[in-house]
Amino acid sequence: MERNAALEIMDKLRIATIDHMTHIDNLDSIFEHGLLAHNNPYKKIDISNQEVNQRRNRKEPIYNRNTHDYVPLYFNPRNAMLYRNQKQFGDEIVILAFKKDTILLENTLFTNGNAASDGTKCSNDISELELKDWNWPMIWSRSWNDSTNADEVKWSMMAEVLVYQKLEMSQLQEIYCSSKRVESYIKNRYNLQDIKVAVNTDVFF
């Protein structure tokens, strides 16, 4: 698909950034080596769910590669994984907001729900984001507790973008923090001239 047409679809669906959550202790290696797939040797603190990781250890249907060969990102970072990690790590969890054209990188996939779940649809065709398989009102939900179909909403909110192997820091647009303490820590530790660092409580619990 032509780039401008793809960007128009993303604008229509209100996709402004593609987001990845991590612990602040992982930022040193991320800025040095880029954001790498799950099986990388530089990660200091693994915030992923180990039980879910076992289910992700399988091949995706498009390129027949292991899901762990991809960097996982979310359309809506305010999801069940963020809730779990905030409860465990508090304000030490930050959200890396990448440019929306990240989804156009070669070999990138996207899903309509949690990639670890059976029945989740996987695609590399941007136009499919407009199909009914992608329930955007559910994907953009603020909560899964206020619904009679809570499990489906919770699953939809975990819709993913999967970038093959590595995501370069040139794609990073902003870092969202949940406290001024962490915002100051990041600004003082790293020289991030072109990357905005700010508290954004709207994307956290």
pLDDT single digits (tens) 146-199: 778 999 999 999 999 999 999 999 999 999 999 999 999 999 999 998 999 999
> Residue 30 and residue 22: Cα distance in Å, rounded?
10
Please, which residues have CB within 8 angstroms of residue 132's CB and are 6 or more apart in sequence? none
Mean pLDDT (the chain) is 94
Which amino acid would we find at residue 178? S
Cα distance between residue 169 and residue 14, in whole Å = 23
Whether the CA torsion 49, 39, 79, 159 is positive or negative: it is negative
pLDDT band at 43 (very low <50, low <70, confident <90, very high): low
pLDDT value of residue 41: 67
Task: Please state, in angstroms and rounded to a whole number, the distance separating the CA atoms of residues 86 and 82.
Answer: 6
CA 107 remoteness from chain centre: 16
pTM for the predicted model, two decimal places: 0.94
Note the Cα 44 to chain centre separation in Å: 19
% the chain with pLDDT above 90:
85
pLDDT at 52: 58
- Is the confidence at residue 28, as pLDDT, over 90? yes
Question: What does the pLDDT average to over 75-97?
Answer: 98
pLDDT per residue as tens digits for the range 113-134: 999 899 999 999 999 999 999 9
